[in-house]
Amino acid sequence: MARVLLLFGGRSSEHEVSCASAVSVHDALIDGGHRVIPVGIDREGIWHLIEPTFRPFTTEGREVEMSVPSGDLHVAENRIEFDVVFPVLHGPQGEDGTIQGLLEACDIAYVGCGVLGSALAMDKDMAKRLVHAAGLETTPWVSITREMWDNDSDSVLQSAQSRIGVPAFVKPSAQGSSIGISFVDAASDLADAIVAAFRYDSKVLVEKAVDAREIEVAVLDGPKASVPGEVILTSGFYTYDAKYADGSSRFEVPAELSDSASKRVRILAEDVFAELGLTGLARVDFLYDRVSRRFLFNEVNTLPGFTSISGFPKMWLASGMTYAELCSHLVDAAINRHEERRRFAVR
């Protein structure tokens, strides 16, 4: 079995979600027979070796340093040996290719997508552009950069209103867990929603709101798709609180779809995984238009939540893979992928 360095926390707004996910991943890896070294990254970016018996996980403990490019990990004068990194880091500086680039530079095996796939998937605008260019349907959207907004907000607002209109969703391009997202059903509120989204990113999306069901599919290398699941809301849209706090949503697996629709969305999820050059794992989210009965690509998450209520492990459980088996599979796949890369010619 592998010695797994479990990285969690981080400097993004999804810090708490990452800490919650790490507890579940830690326990699943232990159940799978692995040795786990949990390292929490605090909000200042400092790494800490944490005591896993304290629940919930925090990012406090003895400081840890990783040397570049050797990849050696030390606590004081003691070197920590590990075989593979399992990053449970959601959002910017964890899911966007940054930590993946560090691990690549140090020639370290790690779970999940590579640098390019992580970066493309994190940027919702770029992901939608590539998926749309490949002939897959998406919801209509426009992207707005901070420079565009600062130079001529009136023209940008007029263009967004004419091309997308309301109702619409306004969201940061590179965030997760619905952070910074607003639902706008009055044109007079659009500007405030755009300004609010700019608090989290330098690029903002305005997407047309459609009457649709939220369908998700978990994908592993292959690509191989799970049975689909569905986000069921009691009211409103899928906010951060609806996901993690107030109990106003639930995740139903399998989604109540016809056999043909279920097959179709699984194929689409595998297509998205392949088009974006993803590896390891991803959760691909779709909107199932209630009127046209078409699946519209929404976004892809390359390090989805792994808490006890998260959809990704639930979909694989419904597909016949336990939580412990899933985590062990991801570790084994990461080690195999790293060994394959090391066989490539360098000149």
What digits encode the pLDDT tens for the residues 199-220? 999 999 999 999 999 999 999 9
* Torsion angle (degrees, nearest 10) of CA 340, 277, 321, 252: 170
pLDDT at 240 (0 to 100): 46
Is the C-alpha dihedral spanning 37, 10, 24, 219 positive or negative? negative
Give the end-to-end CA distance of the chain in Å, rounded to a whole number.
Answer: 34
pLDDT at 179 (0 to 100): 79
pLDDT at 316 (0 to 100): 97
pLDDT at 160 (0 to 100): 96
Domains of the chain, CATH where assigned: 3-111 (3.40.50.20), 122-137+211-302 (3.30.470.20), 141-208 (3.30.1490.20)
Q: Is 252 exposed, middle or buried (0-12, 13-18, 19+ CB in 10 A)?
A: middle
* pLDDT, mean over the chain: 93
Residue whose tokens read 């966007």:
96
> Exposure string (b/e) for 282-293, b if CB count within 10 Å is 16 or more?
bbbbbbbbeeee
Residue whose tokens read 């952070």:
179
| Residues of the chain where predicted confidence (pLDDT) is lower than 70 | 176-177, 235-248, 345-347
Global confidence as pTM: 0.91
